[in-house]
Amino acid sequence: MTRSVAVVGGGSWGTALAIVLARHGYEVALWVYEPELAQAMATERENRVYLPGFALPPGIRPTAALEAAVAPLLVIAVPSHALRATLTRLRPLLPPAAEVVLATKGLEEETLLRVSEVAEAVLGDGIRPRLATLSGPTFAREVAAGDPTAVLIAARDAALAASLQQRLASPTLRLYTSGDVIGVELAASLKNVIAIAAGICQGLGLGSNTRAALIARGLAEMSRLATAAGGQAETLAGLAGLGDLVLTCTGELSRNRALGIALGQGRSLAEAQASTPMVAEGVRTTAAALRLAERWGVEMPILRQMHRVLFQQQPPRQAVAELMQRSLKPE
């Protein structure tokens, strides 16, 4: 029996997921926001804008018509700032028992909601037993290349998580399950902020000592906020936390790290963002996460300095100096 899935979002991550699923035997409807890109992908069998160099398997059908990209199983891979609008358009199109997997990372800037909270707000509480989040250390190009990759599927419903684990796992994509949706989604969001900071350190010419300290202290900040919000500390030590944090802080393909490098080298935020069509989720997340930290009364000095650099013209080198000169205390 033919298995069908819709991937909503034709950026690098959505395209990579579509490629993996098609190789695993799925018929994939891939919704692409830009009609001209959808047409080019259908003709050229490649996403030359967001994921050049990877042929689309025959099982992938690119389309710019959202109604043509609906299936019993939907994987949502749009940027976080487009999530609410996309789900609003999808709501009247969803089959009654549709399962929704969120592969989006970030916080909604206006409401501070996590991605699953946005989905529930738009699609209604009835979606909760059929809603899951996919996260972990994943560069789209490596996933598309077939490099061995491990991720988490997090859901409140353990049976749904186990079912999706069995259906979506492939020889190159290993899935683990988690019931800690809060921890997984906050880790996925916050690691992007720390990755921008790691890039800034590299752009300033700082070395491995600095980067290692930043990753460790960044993880501590992420854990404090996640647990204050109801997440589990052990989640932050796993794939969605430490795994994804190390990847985005050190990997050459990290767009958040690349943006940080540009800032550290003296470019403005606008210049750094204009240099690539990819979205660096950490910029929007920084503003939302700072407000979330204030709501929960959580101390996050790295996050606060990143907010000053991104939005208050704080020189990056001064931000590093202020972090080093904070009052001394036990770890």
Query: Could you tell me if 87 and 46 are in contact, meaning their C-beta atoms sit under 8 angstroms apart?
Result: no
Q: Are strands 149-154 and 131-135 parallel, antiparallel or unpaired?
A: antiparallel
The structure tokens listed for 297 are 């009364």
Closest by CA to 138, choosing from 304, 12, 39, 297, is 12
What's the distance, CA 193 to chain centroid? 12
Q: Which strand (E) or helix (H) includes residue 177? A: strand 173-178
Would the CA dihedral through 206, 208, 209, 214 be positive or negative? positive
Helix residue ranges, H only, the chain: 12-23, 35-44, 83-90, 115-123, 140-145, 158-168, 181-203, 208-228, 233-236, 244-250, 255-264, 269-274, 281-296, 301-311, 316-324
Which residue matches tokens 């930043």? 214
CA distance 266 to 275: 14
Amino acid making up residue 319: A
Q: Are strands 173-178 and 46-47 parallel, antiparallel or unpaired?
A: unpaired
Q: Are strands 73-76 and 3-8 parallel, antiparallel or unpaired?
A: parallel
Q: What is the CA radius of gyration of the chain?
A: 19
Q: Is 191 annotated in the active site? A: yes
Q: Which of 84, 105, 130, 191 is catalytic?
A: 191
Query: Could you tell me if 9 and 77 are in contact, meaning their C-beta atoms sit under 8 angstroms apart?
Result: yes
CA distance 265 to 259: 10
CA distance 189 to 248: 11
Burial of 98 (0-12, 13-18, 19+ CB in 10 A): middle
Residues with a known catalytic role? 191
